[in-house]
Amino acid sequence: MKSQQAANRPDNTAFTQQRLPAWQPMLSAHFVIPGFLLIGMAFIGIGVALYITSQNIQVLEKDYTGTGQYTACSECADMQTIPCICNVTFSLTTLFTGPVFLYYGLSNYYQNYRKYQVSRDDVQLWGDVTKSPGDACAPYQYIDNKPIAPCGSIANSMFNDTFSLYQIINGTMKLVPLDGKGIAWWTDYNIKFRNPSAQGSLQDAFNGTMKPVNWSKPAYELNPSDMNDNGFLNQDFLVWMRTAALPDFQKLYRRITSGDYALGLPPGDYVLQIEYNYAVKDFGRKKVVFSNVTWMGGKNEFLGVAYIVVGSLCLVMSVVMLVVYAKYKFADENA
């Protein structure tokens, strides 16, 4: 009988009786008003720092689509002569603090279009060119029954304008050295992408594959000057393969880090020589952007402004609450 009693009687534990010790937070004014004040001040501080940093970032943009209001490269815009070389000149009155980063920007270009976005084969890009490319790569899967490497629309449409920068010193053009190393994510270069391995040269490894339709050179000859910058590990290729989030985007092209220009571009006249290959005029525009970079990345005023606004809001709210609280405090305590 005793044991039956024990079996029937509910356990008297804190859990079963819903009496677990509990913390019951009360958001009282005593706690919230100072909290808001603190957050507000901190946010305004961060916001100001962000804003000033962003303001100090120098940006120089040159649209070179060649159509519309910007006339630069208009001679190449019709895409009649290939390759077409055009020059964009600009002059700097102050030092453009280094390291200077060179970006290219495309607008109304949908790298995030779903069909486009999936048109790649990550297994192939991991070094397996012998397998048949994935169906997502269609219509850039095969040419004459030979697999395309790299396959797919993304690779096929890789940005292929090239830029070289010259400073004009006393009428002579001095080449500004552009550094193409480290413009892609470290993990992309070292892990996510791999060149096919084979005995012999990289060219042998790509044996039996075709270059993408739009490419003038096969993958293993992308950068003739640096053997390690070819195939799937070409930095420009890696940057392109990381598809942009929005239709107006910019991608890193080169950095100016060495030689006389390590500290920046000194004042003077410059010529940007562009090999104009990439057709965008039907749907959008392209531009080249010089910018320097800080701890927060490129120029972005949004964050600073947003922080200042939210911080001020917090301050205002804490003041309002203080007023309300002072007015009703006695009522509260007398109640």
Residue 103 found at the interface with another protein (CB under 8 A): yes
Overall size of the chain counted in residues: 335
Rounded to a whole number of angstroms, the minimum distance from the CB of residue 115 to another protein is 6
Closest to 53 (Cα-Cα) out of 304, 291, 256? 304
Cβ contact 267:169 at 8 Å: no
Smallest distance, another protein to C-beta of residue 138, A = 5
CB of residue 60 vs another protein: minimum separation in angstroms?
A: 14
Among 68, 197, 207, 328, binds another protein (CB under 8 A): 328
23 contributes a contact to another protein by CB under 8 A: yes
Using the minimum distance from each CB to another protein, give the nearer residue, 226 or 301: 301
Q: Which helix (H) or strand (E) holds 249?
A: strand 249-256
Q: Does 273 bind another protein (CB under 8 A)?
A: no
Residue 97, interface with another protein (CB under 8 A)? no
The site for another protein, by CB under 8 A, has a size of 97
Tell me the closest approach of the beta carbon of residue 286 to another protein, in angstroms.
12
Indicate the residue among 29 and 168 with the shorter CB distance to another protein: 29
Contact letters for another protein, residues 205-244 (x by CB under 8 A): ----------------------------------x--xxx
166-185: which residues touch another protein (CB under 8 A)? 182-185
Q: How far apart, in Å, are the Cα atoms of 45 and each of 31, 49, 270?
A: 21, 6, 38
Contact flag: residue 313 with another protein (CB under 8 A)? yes
Q: Kindly give, in sequence order, each residue whose CB lies less than 8 Å from that of residue 309, ignoring residues fewer than 6 positions away.
A: 47
Contacts 24+ apart (CB under 8 A), 151-155: 151/120, 151/121, 151/124, 151/212, 152/119, 152/120, 152/121, 153/115, 153/116, 153/119, 153/120, 154/111, 154/116, 154/117, 154/119, 154/120, 154/240, 154/241, 154/243, 155/120, 155/212, 155/237, 155/240, 155/241
Range in contact with another protein (rule: CB under 8 A) among 22-30, 165-173, 217-225, 259-267: 22-30
Binding to another protein by CB under 8 A, coded x per residue (else -) over 281-300, reads -xx-------x-xxxxxxxx
